[in-house]
């Protein structure tokens, strides 16, 4: 039993992983982007994927979300081998990705954004219409649950802060039945306060039994919310550690691939 913190409440129960990625390799021509990465995720777990720029994080999550097909290796989803032909397959299976930027349309209202691509309809005289009333109600309800107070469902997403937008995107993915939520650098562009909003959201989602893959290169953010930590470097896994088994310094070292950073850190006085 690890200690509860602001953004971490209770441990994952001993369940079978919802997805297992075994020895995934991905080659782009002569470039080897992934050279045998293994990774798994349990329901209700936040598994952080750490690594410096170019470590292969993006390629790996794109493989998981069906954008790339692995050159070699196996994906076992809910105990069955899976082959995603395109991102739609992954979305239908319950793997949702919340991208760093391209998630929300600023000019559209929150409720229209929330239901984008999944609009509820209502039939009148045989013609199906967008059920705006229902959409508005659900949106307000879901936003309240996530702790965002909207002026109204018609408020444009453009008026929300970056953190709130991430929260809307996460709430949307969960509402539409995501079992696995891939968050690609959700906190990288946010201020302190907004970051804490997003981390709180991740914690809420986790406690609802959704598996969260949290990609970051910020060790502090990862440690605040993560259950397990996997570090990628040059297309390989450098190891997976459980919460409480690893210190921020060790993680930082792993990410940078060792010694150089240790020296650098010395000169910076541990501020990185």
What is the nearest approach in angstroms of another protein to the Cβ of residue 130? 5
Buried b / exposed e over 162-180, threshold 16 CB at 10 Å, is: bbbbbbbbbbbbbbeebbb
Verify binding: residue 208, another protein, rule CB under 8 A: no
What is the nearest approach in angstroms of another protein to the Cβ of residue 119? 4
Residue indicated by tokens 């450098």: 238
Closest to 172 (Cα-Cα) out of 96, 65, 240: 96
* Among the listed residues 97, 166, 187, 233, the single contact to another protein using CB under 8 A: 97
Asked if residue 139 lies in contact with residue 153, where contact means CB atoms within 8 angstroms, the answer is yes
Nearer to another protein, 80 or 123 (CB): 123
What does DSSP say about strands 180-184 and 236-242: parallel, antiparallel, or unpaired? Answer: unpaired
Nearer to another protein, 214 or 254 (CB): 214
Nearer to another protein, 31 or 102 (CB): 102
Which of the stretches 48-56, 199-207, 216-224, 256-264 binds another protein when contact is defined by CB under 8 A? Answer: 199-207
In the region spanning residues 139 to 178, those forming contacts with another protein, defined by CB under 8 A, are 146-149, 151, 156, 158-159, 161, 163-164, 167
Where does residue 34 rank: exposed (0-12), middle (13-18), buried (19+ CB within 10 A)? buried
Verify binding: residue 22, another protein, rule CB under 8 A: no
Within 13 Å, how many C-alpha atoms sit on residue 80's CB side?
Answer: 5
Which of the stretches 189-197, 208-216, 222-230, 256-264 binds another protein when contact is defined by CB under 8 A? Answer: 189-197
Helix (H) or strand (E) holding 127: strand 127-130
Asked if residue 237 lies in contact with residue 38, where contact means CB atoms within 8 angstroms, the answer is yes
Interface residues with another protein (CB under 8 A) are 4, 6, 9, 87-88, 91, 97, 99, 102-108, 112, 115-119, 121, 128-130, 132, 146-149, 151, 156, 158-159, 161, 163-164, 167, 193, 196-197, 200, 203-204
């Amino acid at each position: 039993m690890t200690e509860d913190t602001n953004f971490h409440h209770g441990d994952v129960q001993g369940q079978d992983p919802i997805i297992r990625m075994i020895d995934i390799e991905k080659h782009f021509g002569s470039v080897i982007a992934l050279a045998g990465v293994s990774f798994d995720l349990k329901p209700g777990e936040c598994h952080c994927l750490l690594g410096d720029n170019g470590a292969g994080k993006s390629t790996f999550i794109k493989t998981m979300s069906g954008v790339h097909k692995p050159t070699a290796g196996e994906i076992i989803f809910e105990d069955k081998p899976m082959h995603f032909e395109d991102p739609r397959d992954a979305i239908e299976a319950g793997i949702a990705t919340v991208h760093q930027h391209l998630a929300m349309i600023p000019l559209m209202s929150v409720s229209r954004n929330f239901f984008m691509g999944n609009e509820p309809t209502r039939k009148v005289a045989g013609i199906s219409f967008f059920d705006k009333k229902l959409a508005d109600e659900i949106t307000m309800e879901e936003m309240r649950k996530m702790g965002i107070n909207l002026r109204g469902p018609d408020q444009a997403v453009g008026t929300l802060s970056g953190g709130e937008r991430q929260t809307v995107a996460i709430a949307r993915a969960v509402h539409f039945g995501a079992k696995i939520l891939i968050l690609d650098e959700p906190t990288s562009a946010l201020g302190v306060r907004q970051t804490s909003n997003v981390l709180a959201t991740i914690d809420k989602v986790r406690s609802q039994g959704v598996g969260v893959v949290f990609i970051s290169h910020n060790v502090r953010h990862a440690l605040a919310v993560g259950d397990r930590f996997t570090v990628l470097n040059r297309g390989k896994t450098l190891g997976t550690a459980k919460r409480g088994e690893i210190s921020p310094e060790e993680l930082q070292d792993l990410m940078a691939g060792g010694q150089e950073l240790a020296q650098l850190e010395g000169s910076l006085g541990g501020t990185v």
